[in-house]
């Protein structure tokens, strides 16, 4: 190794050593700003979950057949159909890349039905050789008049808050957004700030993948309601956007245009 290269590496090591742990955690494989209008499913961005479930609490198997685009809207469906080990099939889509600090915005019309969960969230965990970090919007079909916000830090949750969705999350499209910074996490519903987290111990630090999912349960009835199937259910996503810190807002209605 030549002397200039050794000097460069030594300088880099000193610079990295001075960075906070949270900053270092955001460095690898970070996605850039983008807007997804779901004219199609871009396989360079999205991966469709297919052929497994997330555990005994989930009464459906992820199936690519439950994921489709119709008239510029992503549709995730839940239906009674034998799939894998389950009697029901459900839909999920996730990004291939991880994303870090920035603004995450989704325009969603949720499903209804007790025992169902329409979720927009970010997640990373042990399967990616990282701690379990997560940031959530979840509408439980037992009460579509509310959305639950929550976050996990190294698998520790307990930060749930129920927020009203005027008119019902299933009745029309609503806008859900969070702004994730190293020292602050803000949740918005239809442009209104509904949760402001400033305790560093309650803010995730690891870059995460972006998920949309619709699933059901037979066992988590205290939380999601008793499962009560009345036919196929659909969650619709009209638009998603990620805006990295410092980038301009990417569409007129974006919360980043107002902040």
Residues 6+ apart with CB under 8 A from 129: none
Cα distance from N-terminal residue to C-terminal residue, the chain: 48
Tell me if residue 105 is catalytic.
no
| Residues 133, 141: Cα–Cα separation, whole Å | 24
**Pick the catalytic residue: 36, 79, 105, 138?**
138
Q: State the chain's mean pLDDT as an integer.
A: 90
- Return the residue matching tokens 């000097």: 7
Task: Please say whether the beta carbons of 93 and 49 come within 8 A.
Answer: yes
Task: Please say whether the beta carbons of 75 and 69 come within 8 A.
Answer: yes
**Pick the catalytic residue: 134, 160, 166, 253?**
134
Tell me if residue 36 is catalytic.
no
Q: Is the pLDDT of residue 101 over 70?
A: yes
**What tokens appear for 127 in the block?**
């399967």
Q: What is the mean pLDDT of residues 36-48?
A: 97
pTM of the predicted model, to two decimals? 0.89
Q: How many CA atoms lie within 13 A of 33 on its CB side?
A: 13
Task: Please say whether the beta carbons of 210 and 123 come within 8 A.
Answer: no
pLDDT digits (tens, 9 = 90+) for 137-166: 999 999 999 999 999 999 999 999 999 999
Q: Is the pLDDT of residue 18 over 70?
A: no
Q: What pLDDT sits at residue 29?
A: 62
Q: What pLDDT sits at residue 16?
A: 38
Q: What is the mean pLDDT of residues 50-56?
A: 95
């Amino acid at each position: 190794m030549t002397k200039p290269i050794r000097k460069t590496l030594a300088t880099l090591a000193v610079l990295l050593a001075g960075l906070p742990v949270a900053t270092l955690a955001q460095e690898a494989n970070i996605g850039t700003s983008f807007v997804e209008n779901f004219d199609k499913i871009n396989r360079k961005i999205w991966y469709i979950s297919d052929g497994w479930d997330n555990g005994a609490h989930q009464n459906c198997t992820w199936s690519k057949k439950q994921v489709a685009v119709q008239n510029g809207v992503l549709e995730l469906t839940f239906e009674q159909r034998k799939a894998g080990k389950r009697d029901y099939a459900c839909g999920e889509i996730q990004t291939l890349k991880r994303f870090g600090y920035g603004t995450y915005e989704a325009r969603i019309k949720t499903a209804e039905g007790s025992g169902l969960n329409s979720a927009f969230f970010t997640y990373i965990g042990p399967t990616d050789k990282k701690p379990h970090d997560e940031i959530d919007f979840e509408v439980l079909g037992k009460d579509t008049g509310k959305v639950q916000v929550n976050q996990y830090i190294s698998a520790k949750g307990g930060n749930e808050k129920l927020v009203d969705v005027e008119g019902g999350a299933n009745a029309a499209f609503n806008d859900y957004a969070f702004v994730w910074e190293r020292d602050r996490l803000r949740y918005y519903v239809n442009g209104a700030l509904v949760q402001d987290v400033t305790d560093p111990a309650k803010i995730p630090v690891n870059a995460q993948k972006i998920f949309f999912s619709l699933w059901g349960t037979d066992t988590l009835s205290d939380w999601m309601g008793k499962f009560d199937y009345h036919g196929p259910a659909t969650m619709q996503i009209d638009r998603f956007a990620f805006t990295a810190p410092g980038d301009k807002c990417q569409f007129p209605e974006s919360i980043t245009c107002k902040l």
